[in-house]
């Protein structure tokens, strides 16, 4: 079974899918005339200020919607994923992560805009949104099967890659770093997860609004300190990134050597893994934002991709490069000797520890725990929205119980097969979502053009 799943995933996450993801981002960037660069400053202004328009409707603020989305994105992909990209693709992989991040901002923008435009109110008066809604309502009922396909795979992926896989990683870290057994970790996670998710979206977004900024700042500050300590390696690090984004790396210092295609492949794949652009997850929370126009929340949503890929992933990558830990065979810049058998997450921990000692290693360990827990909370929102679409509001309690159960199972079970299933479901979420985005691109362009052509919008932007 595992071999079959690995072959399926090898195809689903192969070059055609990655090209489709990157291609969609490139196409939307062209259609929107590079909006993610032109309007980035305005987008951040919207993200951190309250929408004063009295016509604004929604369940949570733009900021809390963004933080909930970031809770799902800022995770172990920003620690282990970046390390994997660099060790397998070389420093040049960071450049390609930047590229896919910038293109992914256009994809995220389109997802959030369509989520807002086609959102609906459920029986409790709360908004529901996501790719399944804009596929069905935007393309018509004949596309409903595609909408259901996204919902099925989204609900399953939330139980796996968004939940049990995360709790499994947390349990491993708690055991290895803090000597807490899996059963104890499982019980604690079940209690904390239940307290938050049974409180509904407003409690989840409130927790994310406090938890995520503190967590991200804590990690980024530690990374900046390490980069500052190794300040003399900053320019050589950037030189390596740009040089090896376009040229092969010769075998040296025990390093096996890498061709440019490997840098591109791992940079693109891990960039997408870290920011989820194209998977449709941001659309599942964006519709709950309290805002007066779909474009406003779309702009806010795209800042999440910038924060995750351009800031957090870059910090991790620079730490690995300036400390010499990007080469798992011994370090090509600073010559730091270290264990060549280190896995991705442990490699990042060792890189932090090389400059900050045991404190640095604990920072990474705690980051893995907190990032993983925030991912569990955020992916519950994604999963329950998908479940609600299929079975209605009155049955979501069933999903809550299943979700909490998956959290516990993850801490005590081997999840190799579950990871493979979840990885497959994650990829299968992408296909219906990208079809919806490409078929509805004219709506995205029309809404965007109308918003920025409005004289009132221009006045608000300048005030």
CATH number of the domain at 335, please.
1.20.1740.10
pLDDT of residue 169: 82
Q: Residue 270: its pLDDT value, please?
A: 67
Cβ atoms < 10 Å from Cβ of 211: 18
Residue 262 is assigned to a structural domain of this protein:
yes
DSSP H helices, 230-259, are 234-246
Task: Please give the tally of structural domains in the chain.
Answer: 1
What was the pLDDT predicted at 330? 43
**Is 13 within the bounds of a domain?**
no
Measure the CA dihedral 408/414/417/423, to 10°. 60
For the chain, the average pLDDT equals 84
Greater model confidence, 382 or 344 = 382
Q: Is residue 12 part of a domain?
A: no
The pTM for the full model equals 0.88
- Is residue 403 pLDDT above 80, yes or no? yes
Residue 454: pLDDT above 50?
yes
Could you report the per-residue pLDDT of 212-260, keeping only the tens digit for each?
A: 788 888 888 999 999 999 999 999 999 989 988 888 765 444 444 566 7
Token pair for 270: 């891990």
**Residue 265 clears pLDDT 70, i.e. is over it:** no
Q: Domain range spanning residue 272?
A: 35-49+56-456
Q: Which of 323, 359, 326 is nearest to 342 (CA)?
A: 326
Question: What separation, in Å, do the N-terminal and C-terminal C-alpha atoms of the chain show?
Answer: 59
pLDDT score of 332: 43
Residue 137 CA to residue 116 CA, distance in Å, equals 12
| 329 pLDDT above the threshold of 80 | no
In whole angstroms, what is the distance from residue 267 CA to residue 112 CA? 24
**Residue-level pLDDT at 463:** 43
Question: Nearest-CA neighbor of 353 among 232, 226, 244?
Answer: 226
Whole-number CA gyration radius for the chain: 21
The 10s digit of each residue's pLDDT in 55-77 is 778 888 888 888 888 877 776 66
463 in any annotated domain: no
Q: Rounded to an integer, what distance in angstroms lies between the CA atom of residue 336 and that of residue 442?
A: 53
Q: Is 137 exposed, middle or buried (0-12, 13-18, 19+ CB in 10 A)?
A: middle
Question: How much is the average pLDDT of 185-201?
Answer: 91
d(CA 444, CA 279): 17
As a whole number of angstroms, the distance between CA 308 and CA 55 comes to 31
| Cα–Cα distance for residue pair 113/449, rounded to 1 Å | 13
C-alpha to C-alpha distance for 28 and 442, rounded to whole angstroms: 10
Q: What integer pLDDT is reported at residue 10 of this predicted model?
A: 76
pLDDT of residue 53: 72
193 vs 336 pLDDT, higher one: 193
Among 172-176, 359-363, 393-397, name the most confident range.
Answer: 393-397
How big is the chain, counted in residues?
A: 463
- Asked if the structure places residue 23 within a domain, the reply is no
- Is-contact 376 162, C-beta < 8 A? yes
What confidence tier does 39 reach under pLDDT thresholds 50, 70, 90? very high
What pLDDT sits at residue 340?
A: 42
In a domain, 244, yes or no: yes
Q: Tell me if 7 is assigned to some domain.
A: no
Is position 268 within any domain?
Answer: yes
């Amino acid at each position: 079974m595992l071999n079959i799943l690995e072959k399926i995933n090898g195809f689903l996450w192969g070059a055609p899918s990655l090209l489709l993801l990157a291609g969609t981002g490139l196409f939307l960037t062209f259609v929107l005339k590079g909006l993610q660069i032109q309007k980035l400053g305005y987008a951040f202004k919207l993200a951190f200020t309250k929408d004063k328009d009295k016509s604004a409707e929604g369940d949570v603020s733009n900021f809390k919607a963004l933080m909930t989305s970031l809770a799902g994105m800022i995770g172990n992909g920003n620690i282990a994923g970046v390390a994997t990209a660099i060790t397998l693709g070389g420093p040049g992989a960071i450049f390609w992560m930047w590229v896919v991040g910038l293109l992914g901002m256009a994809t995220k923008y389109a997802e959030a805009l369509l989520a807002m435009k086609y959102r609906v109110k459920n029986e409790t008066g709360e908004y529901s949104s996501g790719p399944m809604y804009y596929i069905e309502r935007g393309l018509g009922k004949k596309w409903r099967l595609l909408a259901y396909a996204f919902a099925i795979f989204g609900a399953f992926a939330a139980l796996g890659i968004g939940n049990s896989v995360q709790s499994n990683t947390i349990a491993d870290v708690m055991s290895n770093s803090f000597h807490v057994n899996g059963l104890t970790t499982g019980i604690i996670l079940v209690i904390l997860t239940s307290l938050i998710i049974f409180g509904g979206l407003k409690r989840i977004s409130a927790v994310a609004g406090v938890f995520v900024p503190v967590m991200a700042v804590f990690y980024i500050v530690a990374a900046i300190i390490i980069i500052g300590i190794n300040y003399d390696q900053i320019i050589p690090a950037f030189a390596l990134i740009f040089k090896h984004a376009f040229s092969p790396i010769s075998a040296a210092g025990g390093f096996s050597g890498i061709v440019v295609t490997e840098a591109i492949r791992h940079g693109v794949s891990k960039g997408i893994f870290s920011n989820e652009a194209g998977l449709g997850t941001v659309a599942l929370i964006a519709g709950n934002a309290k805002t007066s126009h779909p474009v406003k929340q779309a702009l806010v949503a795209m800042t999440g991709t910038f924060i995750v890929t351009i800031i957090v992933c870059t910090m991790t990558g620079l730490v690995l490069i300036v400390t010499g830990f990007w080469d798992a065979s011994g370090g090509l810049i600073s010559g730091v000797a270290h264990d060549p058998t280190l896995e991705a997450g442990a490699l990042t921990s060792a890189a932090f520890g090389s400059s900050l000692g045991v404190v640095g290693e604990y920072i990474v360990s705690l980051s893995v725990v907190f990032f993983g827990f925030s991912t569990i909370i955020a992916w519950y929102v994604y999963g329950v929205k998908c479940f609600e679409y299929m079975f209605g509001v009155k049955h979501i309690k069933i999903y809550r119980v299943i979700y909490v159960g998956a959290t516990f199972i993850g801490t005590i079970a081997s999840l190799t097969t579950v990871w493979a299933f979840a990885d497959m479901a994650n990829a299968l979420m992408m296909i219906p979502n990208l079809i919806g985005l490409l078929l509805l691109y004219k709506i995205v362009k029309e809404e965007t053009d109308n918003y920025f052509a409005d004289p009132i919008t221009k006045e608000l932007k300048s005030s």
